[in-house]
Amino acid sequence: MYRFLHIHTYMYRFLHIHIQVFTHTCTGFYTYMYRFLHIHIQVFTHTYTGFYTYMQLKSEVYIHLSWSHKTYFSTTPQISC
């Protein structure tokens, strides 16, 4: 498991900016910490150490674990570990 801090800027259906800390696992599962639970379609750019960037437009299916914690599975290209 490779852990790191990162900042994401999201443009939601309704403009929204969110800064978060997440844990990335090589299996493609991402664990996010949110203040509220959400289910939405998102478009985002992910910059990894300034060298890895991609655009994603897809529906994210979230599995709610608790009020402020959730996990979702992503089918996007994986980051080398």
- CA distances 10 to 19, 27, 47, Å, are 9, 23, 12
Assess if residue 30 is contained within a domain: yes
Assess if residue 81 is contained within a domain: no
Assess if residue 24 is contained within a domain: yes
pLDDT confidence bin for 77, thresholds 50/70/90: very low
Count of structural domains within the chain: 1
Domain, as residue range, for 32: 2-73
- State the residue for tokens 């379609």: 41
Instruction: Convert the pLDDT of each residue in 40-66 to its tens digit.
Output: 333 333 433 333 333 333 333 333 333
- Tell me how far the alpha carbon of residue 80 is from its chain's centroid: 16
- 3 has which bridge partners? 23
Assess if residue 62 is contained within a domain: yes
Mean pLDDT of 4-13: 41
Q: How far apart are CA 23 and CA 81, in angstroms?
A: 12
Through-space distance between the first and last CA atoms of the chain, rounded to whole angstroms: 8
Residues of the chain above pLDDT 90, percent = 0
Assess if residue 26 is contained within a domain: yes
Assess if residue 39 is contained within a domain: yes
Q: How far apart are CA 79 and CA 25, in angstroms?
A: 9
